[in-house]
Amino acid sequence: MNSVLVIAQNTFRENVRDKVLYNLILFALILIISSLLIGQLSLGNEVRIILDLGLASISVFGMLIAVFLGIGLVYKELDKRTVYALLAKPVHRHAFILGKYLGLLLTLLVNVAIMTAGLALALLYHGGASWGALVRLVPAVFMIFLSLAMVTALALLFSTFSTPALSALFTFLLWVAGHFGKDLLRFGEIAQSAVLRWISVGAYYVLPNFSVFTIADSRYITRDATYPLAADPLLVGGAALYCVLYCAVVLSLAVLVFLRRDFK
Amino acid sequence: MPVVEIENLTKDFLVGFWRKRPARALDGLSLQVRRGEIFGFLGPNGAGKSTTIKLLMHLLRPTSGQARILGAPVDSVAMHGKIGYLPENPYFYDYLTPEELLRYVGRLFGCRRPELGRKVDALLETVGLAEARSTQLRKFSKGMVQRIGIAQALVNDPEVVFLDEPMSGLDPLGRMEVRRIIASLKARGVTVFFSSHILPDVEALCDRVAILNRGRLQEVGALEEILKVRIEGHEILLSGAIADAAGAIGVLCDEVRAMGDRLRVRAGSQAQMEAVLSKVFDLGLELISVNPIRPSLEDYFFQEVRAGARPPAAGFPGGKGVAS
Amino acid sequence: MKTMRPGTAGRPAAACSAIALAGALAIVPLLGWVEARRGDAGPDPDLLYFSAPGAVRKMALGYERLLADVYWLRTVQYFGQRDAADRRTVRYGNLAALLDITTTLDPGMIDTYRAGSIFLGESEPIGAGEPAKAVALLDKGIRANPDVWQLRYDKGFVLYLYLQDFRAAGEVWLEAGQRPGAPQWMAGLAAQAFSRGGSMDLARALWRQQYEESTREDIRENAKNRLLSLQVAEDLWTLERHLAAYRHRNGAWPRRLGDLPARRSGLLPAADPLGTPYAYDPATGAVGLGPQSKVVYLEIPESYREEFLRTTAAGAD
């Protein structure tokens, strides 16, 4: 799939030249640095606060990057009609979608790496975290990255048929809903009507479930005694598989929309 | 074997917000383009020219009918590797420079690195953008964008090139450039299919033309044949004592007009011409020239198109979103 | 001429639909497996990036009650999943914090205070074994809802049954009796607490009250176990007294429980309330629950034993 890689590389280049990206990274880094200050206010347990705040920043800003860049991925090409010249080349339509997705994933990877490096530096500066903790940052951030991959796929899907404003809204709502995880099922349990219960079950499976990615959080990194799960490789594998499956489903839908489309 | 075969191609668009009604943008088009020729595709706005080209590029799917390019169906991705396309009102990634754009396109065609470099240089020379090669496209004028558009259509040394309104937005110098490029393409054996509503350009370049109006093919054939059919008489230029002679000449012909110190006479038939010529010496005028009047494509166009105009199909929007 | 299929996209579309369908079907069991394996060691509920309940309330942006519901559901889950609790180092370490957040978000959730105080006060492994925190929780509820007599009743309950602070329990019950709508017997309860101190009858009455009135299955279950435990304790103490009397008379432990005279006349219990016979070791004279007993035995304070033995002294043979 040579064309997929070519398109991916070009998408990466396009993102790198987008100023929005730099503002977001800057904010993320500022937040991570300020976690050092906030940590000092908390009378002990500082490493925990720095980690919590840092990981949350990476998650939230990663989501913002994924959304802001993702909603325009296809929409911009359609709106500006750059897609015309592109699809007249020997490029399959699914290669177009996949290439765009991979390009944005690559952008996200680089950004997440930068933010993680910032967090690691903050921890090093603080001095309270062990080397082991720094190493364990990687699986924790990997989990965050998996959730971002899902958000990107959703933003891309909306981008194939909706305006940027609506796409951003829908993707953001799905991101929020995705954090409820099993609570969605519990809502259905308290509901009295069977219809609501079916809806909540449906929502639980259709909506992204980000709670599966929280298995590696700050307690895991600091080897907190109250946290029973060490890095359970099966769980990590299961979560990664879930991400791959979910993204495959969403991207297939995006390709389907794109295939049926007339470019007037 | 013809390089482009179109058979009974029809395209309906669904318009309307709630109850979608079909609007026919292209109705049963059939034509063929031969190898090595420059084929012009003419018509007023809304005639279906862009729709046809987009159908050929598989950007749109036909409602019925079929088309083949170089013997392959239009949805064949491999075939797209042998053709070039310039969209109407093109827009390319404005964050790229021309060099980057051409390299990107080249890599999509599977060109290898070293030869890609040479090709890009040559193309930039050809379209005259060599100096601007490192300027981001967002700073380009429309004419420059048009030129890079032609360049990207030629990256793969295509056998057939489809140009949708290649001259639009260009100043006369730019149009001359494009004409030159198209002519040089023909010289290299490339088949060129282009649509335009700038008739003098079509007249100058095309071997054959097709005329489209409101989605239907009006006429197709070699330019001389289309135009020869209608020799409309002769134009006679006279000089001398034109003021006195004007009236006398006027009764003999269709039209007489004074232009400075000359008289321009339009004789609609052989008889009129002979009558006028015989009078010339009697009236003391001098004959400057006699030329057959062949209509320009423009005249033909307005005439035929108006004559062939059908009442519009119900709901035909002719506006934005439907092909020109 | 090969026809260009109008309208559909052919094979790529079919492939995409197949992928989407297969992926969707695979997700359902996978998600179930992942969630099951993870148990409830998921996000640390009390520190989901917000350490202080006050912060949670501020971030709730007007949806405090909804969030309170969410946190209450999480609390119940946290409490209810026994196997997940088994795996934790501290069984219910976060329970107090969860309840704190829930009640900060919605200080009016009376049932949360009531059920929460039982969860906290009941000893391990059934509950968190932190009756002091239970009292703190109820105090918070009382501050926010001063006229709800049930909260003071519950506070007395915890003080009496878990902390054995009979005087304080009496005082709280006295206050409870003064709240609007308080039942008539509240004053009598207070009086009993003052006068009799640690009393098994009073404990039994309190547990029976809870068993009959609570709407929560797990709390009723717990109350039932408490009542059964009280009955078992009485049975065992009675048996012990009769055994001691027998030994005193005959110089040795009886070979079987059936040898006790009072047993022959049917005055002594042979089996626990759920039907399993009591176990007896003739070598040591020890009695206890049979190994197959279905009774969940919860410890009884020593003061009850003294009171019981005192009040039933008459009647031993």
Which ipTM was obtained for this model? Answer: 0.80
What's the CATH number where B269 sits?
A: 3.30.70
pLDDT, position C40: 54
CATH tag, C45-219: 1.25.40
Rg (CA), chain C: 28
pLDDT at C139: 94
Res A90 pLDDT > 50: yes
Are the CB atoms for B13 and A264 separated by under 8 Å? yes
| Percentage with pLDDT > 90 across chain C | 10
Residue B172 shares a structural domain with residue B283? no
Give the three-state DSSP class for A69. Answer: helix
Contact B318, B46 (CB under 8 A): yes
Q: Does C93 touch chain A (CB under 8 A)?
A: yes
- Which contiguous run of DSSP H or E holds residue A167? helix A164-178
At residue B299, does pLDDT exceed 80? Answer: no
The chain B residue lying nearest A99, using CA atoms, is B108
Most confidently modeled of A73-77, A108-112, C45-49? A108-112
CATH of the domain at B151: 3.40.50.300
Q: What is the pLDDT of residue A151?
A: 94
Res A255: pLDDT? 93
For B222-253, what is each residue's pLDDT tens digit?
877 776 655 677 888 888 877 777 777 778 78
Q: Which residues of B touch A261 (CB under 8 A)?
A: none
Which is more confidently placed, C113 or C44? C113
Chains that contact A by 3+ CB pairs under 8 Å? B, C
Helices of type H across A17-92: 19-41, 46-80, 82-87
Is residue B11's pLDDT more than 50? yes
Please check whether residues B84 and B110 belong to one and the same domain: yes
Q: B249 and B220 share a domain? A: no
Q: What is the 3-state secondary structure (H, E, C) of B204-215?
A: HHCCEEEEEECC
Judgement on whether residues B73 and B221 belong to the same structural domain of the protein: yes
**Rounded distance between C-alpha atoms, residue B10 and residue B25, angstroms:** 8
Q: What pLDDT score was predicted for residue B314?
A: 34
**Mean local confidence (pLDDT), A251-264:** 88
Same domain? For B119 and B257 the reply is: no
Residue C83 binned pLDDT confidence (cut-offs 50, 70, 90): low
Check whether A250 has a pLDDT greater than 90. Answer: yes
Q: What percent of chain C is modeled with pLDDT above 70?
A: 83
Residue A109 confidence (pLDDT) above 90: yes
Cβ-Cβ contacts under 8 Å between A and C: the total is: 103
How far apart are alpha carbons B59 and A260 in whole angstroms? Answer: 10
**From the list B57, B322, B323, which residue is nearest A88 (CB)?**
B57
- B318 pLDDT higher than 50: no
Q: CA-to-CA distance for B200 and B203, rounded, in angstroms?
A: 5
- Mean of pLDDT values over C274-299: 84
Q: What is the DSSP letter of C3?
A: P
- pLDDT at position B312 over 50: no
Amino acid at C23: G
Q: What average pLDDT does the structure give for chain A?
A: 83
Q: In chain A, whose CA is at the least distance from the CA of B322?
A: A264
- In the predicted model, is pLDDT for residue A213 greater than 90? no
Domain residue limits at B276: 234-293
Q: What is the mean pLDDT of residues C242-249?
A: 86
The shortest CB-CB distance from C1 to any of B62, B64, B68 is to B68
| Nearest CB to A253 within list C20, C43, C90 | C20
* Per-residue pLDDT band at C307 (split at 50, 70, 90): confident
- Kindly determine whether residue B92 and residue A17, on different chains, have CB atoms separated by under 8 Å: no
Q: Among B111-120, B304-313, C41-50, which stretch is predicted with the lowest mean pLDDT?
A: C41-50
Q: Say if CB C162 and CB C131 are below 8 A apart.
A: yes
Residue C23 has its nearest CB partner, among A93, A228, A245, at A245
- Residue B246: predicted pLDDT: 77
Q: Taking the domains of chain A in order of start, what are their residue ranges?
A: 2-259
Checking if the pLDDT of A246 tops 90, the result is: yes
Q: Summarize pLDDT for B106-153 with one digit per residue, the tens.
A: 999 888 888 888 989 999 888 888 888 888 888 888 888 888 999 999
Q: What is the mean pLDDT of residues B204-220?
A: 86
Does residue C152 surpass a pLDDT of 80? yes
| pLDDT of res. B291 | 81
B55 and B174 housed in the same domain: yes
pLDDT tens digits, one per residue of C66-81: 677 777 877 887 787 7
Segment C26-46 mean pLDDT: 70
Residues B287 and B269 in one domain: yes
- pLDDT greater at residue B306 or residue C16: C16
Query: What backbone phi and psi angles, to 5 degrees, belong to B258?
Result: -90, 130
Query: Lowest-pLDDT range, A170-174, B25-29, B294-298?
Result: B294-298
> Two tokens at C300?
């009884």
| Greatest mean pLDDT range, B93-107, B266-280, C204-218 | B93-107
Interface contact A56, partner C, CB < 8 A: yes
What is the rounded average pLDDT of the residues A73-101?
88
Q: What is the pLDDT of residue A43?
A: 52
What amino acid occupies position B118?
Answer: R
A186 and C27 within 8 Å at the Cβ level: the answer is no
Q: Does B8 touch chain C (CB under 8 A)?
A: no
Identify whether residues B272 and B186 lie together within a single domain: no
Rounded to 5 degrees, what are φ and ψ at B256? -135, 140
Which has more pLDDT, C285 or C8?
C285
Q: Indicate the range of A200-204, B292-296, C120-124, C218-222 predicted with least confidence.
A: B292-296
Ramachandran angles phi, psi of B243, nearest 5°: -60, -45
Give me the residue spans of the domains in chain C: 45-219, 235-311
A226 versus A149: the higher-pLDDT residue is A149
Give the residue, A41 or A113, on which the prediction is more confident.
A113
* Of A3-17, B307-321, C107-121, C265-279, the least confident: B307-321
* B307-315 mean pLDDT: 46
Are B50 and B169 found together in one domain?
A: yes
Task: Give the ranges where chain C is alpha helix by DSSP (H).
Answer: 11-38, 53-59, 64-80, 82-87, 95-105, 110-121, 131-144, 149-161, 166-177, 185-196, 200-213, 217-250, 261-264, 302-311
Task: State whether B161 and B51 are in the same domain.
Answer: yes
pLDDT at residue B321 is higher than 60: no
Instruction: Classify residue B150: in a domain, yes or no.
Output: yes
Mark whether B57 and B180 lie in a shared domain.
yes
Distance of CA C16 to the CA centre of its chain: 53
Length of chain C: 317
Q: Give me the amino acid identity at C249.
A: R
Which residues, numbered 31 to 70 in chain C, qualify as contacts with chain A under a Cβ-Cβ cut-off of 8 Å? Answer: 31, 33-35, 37-38, 41-44, 47, 49, 51, 70
- Chain B nearest C-alpha distance from C16 (Å): 18
Q: For residues B264 and A51, which has the higher predicted lDDT (pLDDT)?
A: B264
Looking at beta carbons, which pairs linking B123-127 to residues 24 or more positions away fall under 8 Å?
Answer: B123/B151, B123/B154, B123/B155, B124/B98, B124/B99, B124/B151, B126/B151, B126/B154, B126/B181, B127/B151, B127/B177, B127/B181
pLDDT of A96 reads: 92
Give the CA count within 13 Å in the CB-facing half-sphere of A95: 17
Q: Tell me: pLDDT of C48 over 50.
A: no
Distance in Å, alpha carbon of A255 to nearest chain C alpha carbon = 7
* A8-31 residue pLDDT tens: 999 998 888 887 788 778 878 887
Q: Which residue has the higher pLDDT, B191 or A74?
A: B191
Residues of chain A with pLDDT > 90, as a percent, come to 25
Average pLDDT, chain B: 82
The residues that bridge with B262 in the sheet, in sequence order, are: B239, B259
CA atoms within 13 A on the CB side of A72: 12
pLDDT of residue A24: 79
> Structurally, how many domains does chain B consist of?
2
**Residue C313's pLDDT is what?**
67
What is the pLDDT confidence band of residue A191, given thresholds at 50, 70 and 90? low
pTM exceeding 0.80: no
Q: Name which of B108, B321, B322 is nearest A3 (Cβ-Cβ).
A: B108
B74 touches chain C (CB under 8 A): yes
Is the pLDDT at A46 greater than 70, yes or no?
no
Q: What is the mean pLDDT of residues C120-133?
A: 86
pLDDT at res. B296: 67
My answer on whether B158 and B254 are in the same domain is no
Exposure string of A181-190, with b = 16+ CB inside 10 Å and e = fewer, is bbbbbbbbee
The confidence band for C6, taking pLDDT boundaries of 50, 70 and 90, is: very low
| Average pLDDT over every residue of C100-121 | 87
Between A220 and C13, residue with greater pLDDT: C13
Lowest mean pLDDT among A206-220, B39-53, C22-36, C198-212: A206-220
* B9 close contact with C: CB closer than 8 A: no
Q: By the 8 A CB rule, do C203 and C175 touch? A: no
Q: Which residue has the tokens 């009171």?
A: C307
